Structure formats: structure tokens, C-alpha cells
């Protein structure tokens, strides 16, 4: 009896087809002529002209259980944007400009149209972040993932002049915090979201919230903040930046503050999008718990001197960003809501 690779669940021809279909999307992100798809390594020439001491900054992340809503809707493009966003938003917190991105897609069965849709989204994310998609890996793993499901992860590298790296040790009590609005849940807290919907027997495919389909709201891609923040850094001496991801305000804001300092946040300083109010109401979540899981409408928090606050907000508004004066840095660790 002949046993082939295809009979084991791996379709090599589908893999070739996927590669051909994604080439045009990768080409859209090209910054340099050096890299060619299909090699054993992605190539990127590092231009350090004008930099005294360049520092490479890397980040890696996935999309988590938000993928379940992509499976549910059979929509996979926006999830690619999420993957890029989760990585590039992290490295810009150091002040780094993203250079290139690599992805890893592992699935039970290689469906070329699905792979193309994911990579199309990744390419769009790279364009928004002004970085190049160098390539990645698509792994067909029959019997490892559930039917029609996959996992997605990404890796990015950026560069920053060492003297321009943001340093939390420069933060002082009395500094202020400016929050940039999120586009929704971004890519965190979805295990709790799924639990809430399951416990309340809410079907996200049929349930509507303020006239919008709930599943579509939940699938809204993570906002990419790279360009507005890099532009802001050219004009404003930011001291630190926090990306509000898993762990919400309570875990992430302290990462942008030195030991012994905390933050006082005015809950009334920014609007909470309806999706968060809906989830909190359904699960009877107290603010302390909600702000420890979700971003609650704030995707990034910048720490800076109060003398630069109004100028920074004006510059962000000019770039089309919704920005709010959230509160102040104070003596004593922790984040306090008032």
C-alpha cells in the first residue's frame, strides 16, 4: 500500500499555490529591492547613516483567542492586521521605528484562499506601520489543529538611536499621562469575552449592539499607533509609553513608570466605547476588574511633562488621533482610578 504525504494530510501543491497567491501582497510592503520571496532567510540592509549608536529592538506576539471570531465569521484579513499591531505597537514604546516583520501561520489544512486573506491583512498592517514583510512560514499540521482552525504569530525588528530611547527613569511625580483611543478590544481579553457570551448564551452572529453585529465589532482590528507616535516623538520629549494590552491599565501602565511611582487616572477623562459597557454589564464586572483585563478605550498611554501636554494633544488631534489627558504620575506604586 502506497502512503503519500498527501494521504497524511499535507498538500504540497496547496502550499505552492499559497506561496504564489501571497507574493503580490508581500510585494506591496517592499521597502528595499534586496529581499526575494522563496529564499531560506529574509534580507534587509540596515541603514544606520546619521545614527551614532543604533539599537535594534524586537517584538513577538500572537492574536490569542480573538482568532475564534475570525473562524466564526470566516473572515481572516483583519486578524493579520492584529498580528502586526501587537508587535509594532510594543517596540514603538521604546521609540523604535519598525523595519521588518515576519509571520508564522500554522493550520490544520492549507487553504490557499485563507492563507492569502491572512497575509493580505498582515501586508496591510505592515504598510500602516511603514515596515517590510520579509516573509515567514506557513505550516500545515493535520491532526494538530481543529478543522478549519489555525494559529498566527508575528515577529518584528525596529531600530532606534540609543540616545533617543525612552527611559522610564526620566519619569517624575507630577508628570501627566495622555491616552490614545483604541479601536475596540484590540487583541486582549477574548477568553473572558467568550466566557461571558457562553454563560449568557449570546450568539455574536445574531446579536446587535447599537445597530452593529456583535461578532464584527469584536473582530475590529487593533489600531496601529506607530506613525502618529513616531511623529509625536519628533516634536515632544516623551518620557515613556505604555501599550495597553493583556492586563489592562493595572499591568501595563506600571511598566512605563519607575519603581516607587504610580498613576492616578480620572475615569471621566475619556469615553468608554459601548462594547466595554456591554461586556461589563453582562458579566457584572466592577471597574477594578474591567480595567485589569480590557483597555477600556485607551490603546496607548504616553508619559510626559505637564508643560508639553496640550501641545502633544494638539499634535495628535492634527494626525487624526483621539487623545485625552488621563491623569498624573504620583508617589507610590500602583494605578488608582478616581
- Could you tell me what percent of the chain has a pLDDT over 70? 94
Q: What is the pLDDT of residues 38-65, one digit of tens each?
A: 677 888 888 888 899 999 999 999 999 9
Rounded to an integer, what is the distance from CA 21 to the centroid of its chain? 25
Write down the pLDDT at residue 12: 58
Residue environment code for 133-158, b if the CB has 16+ CB neighbours within 10 A, otherwise e:
bbbbebebeeeebeeeebbbbbbbbb
The torsion defined by the Cα of 256, 85, 268 and 277, in degrees rounded to 10, comes to -130
The torsion defined by the Cα of 235, 101, 166 and 234, in degrees rounded to 10, comes to -10
CA–CA gap between residue 110 and residue 60 (Å, rounded): 23
Q: Which residues contact 297 (CB under 8 A, 6 or more apart)?
A: 181, 182, 270, 271, 272, 273, 276
Give the number of other CB atoms < 10 A from CB of residue 302: 30
Task: Catalogue all structural domains in the chain, each as residue range(s) with its CATH number.
Answer: 12-164 (3.30.1330.10), 168-337 (3.90.650.10)
Given a cut of 70, the residues of the chain with pLDDT beneath it are 1-19, 35, 38
**Closest alpha carbon to 291 in 281, 282, 283, 280:** 280
Write down the pLDDT at residue 25: 73
Q: Where are the alpha helices (DSSP H) in the chain?
A: 12-27, 67-73, 77-91, 112-129, 190-199, 214-218, 226-235, 248-252, 274-283, 287-290, 309-318
Summary count for the chain: helices (H), strands (E): 11, 12
**Closest alpha carbon to 14 in 140, 170, 172:** 140
Residue indicated by cell numbers 522563496: 38
Residue environment code for 309-328, b if the CB has 16+ CB neighbours within 10 A, otherwise e:
beebbebbeeeebebbbbbb
Write down the pLDDT at residue 228: 97
**Are 223 and 245 within 8 A, CB to CB?**
no
Write down the pLDDT at residue 5: 53
Q: What is the pLDDT of residues 320-337, one digit of tens each?
A: 999 999 999 999 999 999
CA–CA gap between residue 40 and residue 237 (Å, rounded): 41
C-alpha cell at 287: 471597574
CA–CA gap between residue 170 and residue 280 (Å, rounded): 36
Question: What is the DSSP track for 100-148?
Answer: EEEEEEEESS--HHHHHHHHHHHHHHHHHHT-EEEEEEEEE-TTTS-TT
Amino acid at each position: 500500500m502506497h502512503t503519500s504525504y498527501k494521504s497524511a494530510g499535507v498538500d504540497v501543491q496547496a502550499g505552492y499555490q499559497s506561496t504564489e497567491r501571497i507574493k503580490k501582497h508581500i510585494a506591496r510592503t517592499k521597502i528595499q529591492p534586496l529581499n526575494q520571496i522563496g529564499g531560506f532567510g529574509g534580507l534587509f540592509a540596515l541603514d544606520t547613516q546619521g545614527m551614532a549608536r543604533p539599537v535594534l529592538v524586537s517584538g513577538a506576539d500572537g492574536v490569542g483567542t480573538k482568532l475564534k471570531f475570525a473562524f466564526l465569521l470566516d473572515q481572516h484579513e483583519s486578524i493579520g492586521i492584529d498580528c502586526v499591531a501587537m508587535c509594532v505597537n510594543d517596540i514603538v514604546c521604546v521609540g523604535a521605528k519598525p523595519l521588518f516583520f515576519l509571520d508564522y501561520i500554522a493550520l490544520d489544512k492549507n487553504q490557499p484562499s485563507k492563507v492569502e486573506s491572512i497575509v493580505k491583512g498582515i501586508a496591510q498592517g505592515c504598510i500602516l506601520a511603514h515596515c517590510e514583510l520579509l516573509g515567514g512560514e506557513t505550516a500545515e499540521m493535520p491532526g494538530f489543529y481543529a478543522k478549519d482552525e489555525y494559529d498566527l504569530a508575528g515577529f518584528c525588528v525596529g531600530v532606534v538611536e540609543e540616545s533617543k530611547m525612552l527611559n522610564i527613569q526620566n519619569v517624575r511625580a507630577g508628570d501627566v499621562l495622555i491616552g490614545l483611543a483604541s479601536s475596540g478590544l484590540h487583541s486582549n481579553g477574548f477568553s473572558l469575552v467568550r466566557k461571558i457570551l457562553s454563560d449568557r448564551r449570546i450568539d455574536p452572529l445574531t446579536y446587535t449592539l447599537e445597530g452593529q453585529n456583535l461578532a464584527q465589532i469584536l473582530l475590529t482590528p487593533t489600531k496601529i499607533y506607530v506613525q502618529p507616535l513616531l511623529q509625536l516623538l519628533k516634536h515632544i520629549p516623551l518620557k515613556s509609553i505604555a501599550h495597553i494590552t493583556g492586563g489592562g491599565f493595572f499591568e501595563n501602565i506600571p511598566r512605563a513608570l519607575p519603581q516607587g511611582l504610580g498613576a492616578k487616572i480620572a475615569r471621566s477623562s475619556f469615553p468608554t466605547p459601548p462594547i466595554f459597557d456591554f461586556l461589563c454589564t453582562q458579566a457584572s464586572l466592577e471597574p477594578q476588574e474591567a480595567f485589569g483585563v480590557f483597555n477600556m478605550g485607551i490603546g496607548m498611554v504616553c508619559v510626559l511633562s505637564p508643560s508639553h501636554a496640550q501641545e502633544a494633544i494638539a499634535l495628535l488631534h492634527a494626525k487624526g488621533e483621539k487623545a485625552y489627558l488621563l491623569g498624573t504620575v504620583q508617589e507610590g506604586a500602583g494605578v488608582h482610578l478616581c
